[in-house]
Amino acid sequence: MSDQVTAAAYAGPVLAADGTLLKDRLNKTMRRRKLIAAGLVLPLGAFVFITFMFPIILMLYRSVDNPVVHDNMPQTVAALEYWDGQGIPGEEAFAAMVADLVQARKSKEIGRVATRLNFEMSGVRSVLTGTARKAKNMKAPFKDALIAANDLWGERELWVTIKRMAKPFTASQYLAAVDMRFDIDNNMVMQDEDRQIYVTIFGRTLWISLLVSVMCLLLGYPVAYLLATLPLKYSNLLMIMVLLPFWTSLLVRTTSWIVLLQTNGVINDLMVWTGIISEEGRIQMIYNQMGTVIAMTHILLPFMVLPLYSVMKTIPPSYMRAALSLGANPVTSFVRVYAPQTVPGIGAGSLLVFILSIGYYITPALVGGRTGQMISNFIAFHMQKSLNWGLAAALGGILLVGVLFLYWAYSKIVGVDNMKLG
């Protein structure tokens, strides 16, 4: 009888000390801990979103946002909505254009409209601003009045461009970023040969970044190996030398290379003094691609050394000794035993240096000259000089996609879990 009572007691619900169900008590405790954890992480998440994610989202939005014509020329947008794009539009569209020009000049938005259209069709800015000054005194028929003001108003291409730019969103900036454009029939075609520049610049950026990554790997691998194998007192001194560039301004390091690499600089003078080259054979190592590669390699070298060192430090020296004791020579044991274990460090360092390289701006701007400029310099140009923010955002968007693709490729080949950054 007592066994049955005991079994019945165990079969009942399990209670906590306060008399509530233990299961409910545990769930309540877990929910509270999750809320506390979320509260602790929330400030960091908000900071990352505001300073990192939101600017990226804003950049991608800016690359397709096209509100200038749509917002400042509403009557023309409405008049061209049902135009088939053949010939030139009727009197209604010309009358709407005159009314919008008058209003845009009054609101002082005509400059923005003219600049936006000029990005798509050269010469439009002067046509719009010049016509806007006369639009207030124009009388019907407005078609004849506009064509009399400038012959370009009688061209189909101008009206096709205005109709295409009347849309609030456009892909034209991405086309321009890969040296393409819409033709008069709204087909995607390549830009004229003398205006094709960005594909070449993207290719140059990738080439310089790859070359810098390879140079950093060739120079950084032996340094990292010494750091991992030398006695502590020597490796600490070497580590200080590796980290020393981080304590020096990037601008100072870059301008130092200008002093070293210029035609009458230290390196050329030294080679002339030693007889390696003649006075007339001084090498142009600055304001070109060579100067960019040399300066960037020096600046980014620590970003290769540290990931390699973090991996090499975890490799037991006994592996190499075991290979040597089994009959392998030093080269074979290094290539077949040691080097494969450093692949995660090689991958992480190469990825880090490459990603930093393709977005570099200061060094190419100072030492790159005409042939050493990278895509980041053109993004800055459109942001600061031409004010074509949409094209700058499109170039940045393409660069972002390239970085994400590299990260995906690294994840597939090496694995993100194996990444060691020092």
Please give the pLDDT value at position 419.
Answer: 58
Percentages helix, strand, coil for the chain (3-state, rounded to 5) are: 75, 0, 25
Q: Looking up tokens 């209003």, which residue turns up? A: 103
Distance separating alpha carbons of residues 49 and 72, to the nearest angstrom: 33
Distances in Å between the alpha carbon of 277 and those of 99, 274, 289, 318? 70, 8, 21, 48
Are 364 and 287 in contact by the 8 Å Cβ rule? The answer is no
Prior bond of 141 cis (ω within 30°):
yes
CA-only gyration radius of the chain, Å:
33
Of 113, 123, 126, the C-alpha closest to 74 is 113
- Give 340's contacts (C-beta < 8 A, 6+ positions apart): none
Distances in Å between the alpha carbon of 416 and those of 64, 264, 343, 346? 32, 47, 12, 13
Please give the pLDDT value at position 113.
Answer: 93
HSE (CB half, 13 Å, CA atoms) of 222?
Answer: 3
| Run of H or E residues at 190 | strand 188-190
Q: Looking up tokens 């895509």, which residue turns up? A: 375
Distance separating alpha carbons of residues 351 and 408, to the nearest angstrom: 11
Residue 229, class by beta-carbon neighbours within 10 Å (0-12 exposed, 13-18 middle, 19+ buried)?
middle
pLDDT tens profile 173-194? 999 999 999 988 889 999 888 8
Distances in Å between the alpha carbon of 276 and those of 267, 280, 284, 290, 349? 11, 12, 15, 19, 35
Distance separating alpha carbons of residues 309 and 117, to the nearest angstrom: 54
| DSSP conformation class of 169 | B
The CATH 1.10.3720.10 portion of the chain extends over: 198-418
CATH of domain 198-418: 1.10.3720.10
Distance separating alpha carbons of residues 345 and 417, to the nearest angstrom: 12
pLDDT tens profile 217-240? 999 999 999 998 888 888 888 888
Please give the pLDDT value at position 17.
Answer: 63
Three-class secondary structure of residue 40 per DSSP:
helix
What are the beta bridge partners of residue 65? Answer: 169
Distance separating alpha carbons of residues 234 and 225, to the nearest angstrom: 13
Locate all alpha helices (DSSP H) within 230-374, ordered by sequence: 232-243, 250-261, 266-274, 289-312, 318-325, 330-333, 339-341, 343-358, 362-367
Encode burial over 384-418: b for 16+ CB neighbours within 10 A, e otherwise: eeeebebbbbbbbbbbeebeeebeeebeeebeeee
Please give the pLDDT value at position 48.
Answer: 87
Distance separating alpha carbons of residues 208 and 290, to the nearest angstrom: 9
Distance in Å from the first CA to the final CA of the chain: 68
Of 68, 124, 134, 79, the C-alpha closest to 101 is 134
Instruction: Kindly report whether the global pTM for this prediction surpasses the value 0.95.
Output: no
Please give the pLDDT value at position 4.
Answer: 52
Are 68 and 55 in contact by the 8 Å Cβ rule? The answer is no
Q: Which residues of the chain have pLDDT under 70?
A: 1-12, 14-19, 414-422
The pair phi, psi for residue 317, each rounded to 5°, is: -60, -20
pLDDT tens profile 13-70? 766 666 677 777 788 888 889 889 888 889 988 998 898 899 999 999 999 999 999 9
- Give 169's contacts (C-beta < 8 A, 6+ positions apart): 64, 65, 66
